[in-house]
Amino acid sequence: MTARPIGVEVSCDGPIEGDCPDSAAILAGYGSRTARQVRADGRRDGWTTRRAPGRLLDLCPTCRHTRTRAPEEPTR
């Protein structure tokens, strides 16, 4: 038996560090094999990608309008 990669799944990074509260993931098209192709599939459904230091943040339509960072501690 031979195992072959069948593609890439891109999931939502949520409104803050951690998982998306709706557990969302991009529905990849049949021909999508790379992360770039899957992200293009997601843009058709309202997903966005934001740059973060050293990586990309993928946000589903629900999370893209909320904050992308945890609230800062108030200073005293």
pLDDT digits 0-9 by tens, 5-19: 666 778 888 876 667
According to DSSP H, which parts of 1-76 are helical?
35-44
The residue segments making up the domain with residue 28 are: 1-76
Full-model pTM:
0.64
Count how many Cα atoms sit within 13 Å of the Cα of residue 73 in the half-sphere of its side chain: 2
> Which helix (H) or strand (E) element contains residue 2?
none
Question: Could you read off the pLDDT of 16-73 as tens digits, one per residue?
Answer: 666 787 777 887 777 788 888 888 888 888 888 888 888 888 888 888 876 544 444 5
Q: In a 10 Å sphere around its CB, with 0-12 CB exposed, 13-18 middle and 19+ buried, how is residue 75 labelled?
A: exposed
> Which helix (H) or strand (E) element contains residue 52?
strand 48-52
Q: How far apart are CA 75 and CA 72, in angstroms?
A: 9
Q: How many structural domains comprise the chain?
A: 1
User: What sign for the dihedral angle of Cα 19, 22, 64, 9?
Assistant: positive
